[in-house]
Amino acid sequence: MKLPYVFLYMVLALIAVFQIYPLIWLLSFSLKDNTEIFGKSPFALPESPKWENYVKVWTDGNIGTYFFNSVWITVLSVALTVLLASMVTFAITRMNWKLNKPVLGLFMVGYMIPIHSALIPLFSMFNKVGLIDNPLSIVITYTAYNLPLTIMILLGFYYSLPREMEEAAIMDGCSINRLFFKIILPMTTPVVSTTVIINMIFNWNEFVFVNTFISSEKYKTLTVGIQNFIGQYMTDWGAIGATLMISVLPLLIAFIFFSDRIIDGITAGAVKG
């Protein structure tokens, strides 16, 4: 092996260590109690692993409810976002109508709106229609905010699709709805997989909207539920570490199995022809 390649692999290995170590440290942190966390070096391994931290957060900390809420809110929001974004992208790139460019520009403007600048208007709007402390407000917000980015990712792939298949399907009597759901949507699986993963990461980790719109314990998600272990006089850091580890695992597993889809989907529409 040539020397430059040896140096390259050494650099990549070093980067991998820096990427993986925080997860190892978090696992070690979640297996300690407050005495061990503050009494010794924070980088030391636990002397007696406190697996009961995980039992505690799942039973006493209501993490099971928060976890379930995170799952169904994320899945529903991602499904709505990807479906609506695919429909919009299909209409903009595959259909001829006068306002397709202005409509695309309108969605791209939405991508430039900071999240925090919309909190008060959204809260006021949801309060008027009775959606405060309702998970539907979170699903609507996630869907709306993720549409611009999802459309932007889908655009390149849709532009690269051959029109001959659509023309042949239409000549055989295929309707627009059937053309989209039976032909176009299955062809876009690589890039759709990419948008699913990106949306899932954002929705799963989001904190601001849930903390603003949701107050009932039965509707909170994992990111907000972690606050239950922070008290005025005492904070259970081991339980917080266990909760963080539980929240990281689904994303970590999804990324391990589908990381190649992200690269394939992003590059799929980069070259036409």
pTM value?
A: 0.84
Report d(CA 173, CA 170) in Å as an integer. Answer: 5
Q: Give 230's DSSP letter.
A: B
Comparison of pLDDT for 111 and 81, the residue scoring more: 81
**Listed residue (257, 226, 250, 202) closest to 30, CA to CA:** 226
State the CATH number of the domain containing residue 186.
1.10.3720.10
Q: Which domain holds residue 127?
A: 65-237+254-268
Q: Is residue 28 part of a domain?
A: no
Q: Residue 78: pLDDT band by 50, 70, 90 thresholds? A: very high
Instruction: Select the more confidently predicted residue: 254 or 28.
Output: 28
187 assigned to some structural domain: yes
Alpha carbon 228 to its chain's center = 23
Q: Please indicate, yes or no, if residue 16 is contained in any of the structural domains.
A: no
Which pLDDT score is estimated for 87?
94
In a domain? residue 211: yes
- What DSSP element (H or E) covers 231? none
pLDDT of 121-151, one tens digit each? 999 999 999 999 999 999 999 999 999 999 9
List the one residue out of 159, 251, 155 whose CA is nearest residue 199: 251
Tally of structural domains, the chain: 1
The reply to whether 135 falls in a domain is yes
Q: Is residue 164 part of a domain?
A: yes
Residue 37 covered by a domain = no
Indicate whether 213 belongs to any domain.
yes
Place of tokens 């992003």: 266
Those residues whose C-beta lies under 8 Å from the C-beta of residue 223, and which sit 6 or more positions away, are 70, 204, 205, 206, 207, 210, 247
